[in-house]
Structures are given as C-alpha cells and as structure tokens.
Amino acid sequence: MLTTGMLILLVLLLLLGMPLVFAMGMASVAYLFFADISFSMLTQRMTTAVDSFLILAIPFFYLAGELMNACKLYIRLSGDYENCIAKRWGWDEVHPITLEAWKDHDPLLWRWLYHNRLKINESQNDIEAYLKWQQVHPGVGGLYPTKVELKGPNEGEFTITKCNSLEYWERVGDDAKIEAICSECGTDWILWQNAAEMINPKMKVTAVKLPPRKSKDEIACKWNVRIEEKTRIGL
C-alpha cells in the first residue's frame, strides 16, 4: 500500500512539473516517514549502496553526453556567422567583427594578455610564452591535440594533429567554412595572431601547412611563429 502511494505521489509531482530528482526525493521522504524506518539504518544502507566505483559511470555518462552535444553545436555553428557577416557587410568586415566577438567571448584570455594575470615565464614576451599559451588555452590545446616545438628564442612551431571540426566539414563537403576558419586569414589565425601581438608586437604567425589535405591521416594544420627583429644596415 505504501509503495503504491509513493508511486502515485511521484506521478502527481511529475505531472505538476517538478523535476524528476526532486519528485523522487519527496516521494522517498514521504515513504520513509509513513513506513517508520530507522534513519540511522537508512544512512548506513545508503552509504553502503553508493560506495561503489561503478556508480561514477552515471554522472560521467551524462557529462559525456552534454560535452558531445556542445561540441556538435559548436562545429555546426562555427563559420556560419562569418558567412552571415559577409553576405550583409562583405568579407572586409568579417575579420574585425570576428576579433571583437572573440574578445567578448573570451575575456579571460585578453585580461591575461593585457594584465599578466597568468604568469607563464619571466619575460612574458617570447616564443616560449606563446607556445605555452597554445598548450593551456581551452580553445586550442584544450580542444585539439596540439604539438609545439621551440626552435629557438625567436622561433617556434605548433601543429594541430587532429581537428574534429575540419573532419566534419570535409565529410559534408563544406569548403567555404574550411576557407573561412582554416586559411591564413581565417578566424583561427585572427585569434592566434592577435594573441601573439599582445605577447610581443613583433611576433608573427604564418601558415606552414593548411587544408585541403589528401587523407585524414595527415595533420590538420601547422603554423610557424617567430619574432621579427629589425636589422640595422651600417654605412
């Protein structure tokens, strides 16, 4: 009888629009109250029931689903706004508006670069600092497998070995988005070049290898970053 009443209460709470977690909790509390179960015994049984490593699979399963949905939405939307801007105002306005959007979207990056909130090394203005930024930034090393190589104090390279966004656009044949995002004047280059200039105004990012590619086994892209020192010519 108590079990039936608990189920009826659960259904009524759900019909009233209460979230499932709270509805189950209230129905369980009502059952415990009317069944006159010892709360000390209940606590022991609950602790024993959840003391299992396998239980962690439940929240991580939901987390994985949310992350996949977010990544799928990002991949589908990334590049669409460039096309919309170009249709309305022309391609000359795409890069300035995109840069402004990145600044609004990622204020931590710009605050760090402007005010040295996150200290990478002592100088904060060399190639090593920039490559470390590539590794720790959630939109670069945190999202795509990235390899960095320090060739010297004034030169380095970073390689994105796998890019899910590129693979999606290749699969659907969307060459326009590949050009808008992956080209040497695309959205990614805008972010990377402006970050480089904030670390050191003389720092330049240039492409070494870009799409299109012949197979998925090839790297997604490779970039060179260097500090251009002006040379003086003596007479």
HEC per residue, 122-171: CCCCCHHHHHHHHHHCCCCCCCCCEEEEEEECCEEEEEECCCHHHHHHHH
Tell me what pLDDT residue 78 has: 55
Tell me what pLDDT residue 115 has: 47
Burial class (CB in 10 A: 0-12, 13-18, 19+), 68: exposed
User: Of 98-112, 120-134, 219-233, which has the strongest mean pLDDT?
Assistant: 219-233
104 vs 44 pLDDT, higher one: 44
pLDDT band at 220 (very low <50, low <70, confident <90, very high): very high
Arithmetic mean of pLDDT, 31-52 = 74
224 vs 132 pLDDT, higher one: 224
Contact 209, 183 (CB under 8 A): no
Tell me what pLDDT residue 118 has: 43
User: Of 40-49, 187-196, 221-230, which has the strongest mean pLDDT?
Assistant: 221-230
Return the closest-CA partner of residue 169 out of 148, 187, 156: 187
Tell me what pLDDT residue 47 has: 77
Tell me what pLDDT residue 211 has: 92
Arithmetic mean of pLDDT, 19-36 = 82
Arithmetic mean of pLDDT, 169-176 = 83
- pLDDT beyond 50 at 195: yes
147 vs 35 pLDDT, higher one: 147
- pLDDT beyond 80 at 204: yes
| Percent of the chain surpassing pLDDT 90 | 13
Tell me what pLDDT residue 70 has: 62
Burial class (CB in 10 A: 0-12, 13-18, 19+), 223: buried
pLDDT band at 88 (very low <50, low <70, confident <90, very high): confident
50 vs 233 pLDDT, higher one: 50
Arithmetic mean of pLDDT, 29-55 = 75
Return the closest-CA partner of residue 170 out of 160, 182, 161: 182
- pLDDT beyond 50 at 79: yes
Domains of the chain, CATH where assigned? 2-51 (no CATH), 68-227 (3.30.1380)
Tell me what pLDDT residue 2 has: 72
121 vs 98 pLDDT, higher one: 98
150 vs 228 pLDDT, higher one: 150
Q: What's the distance, CA 32 to chain centroid?
A: 44
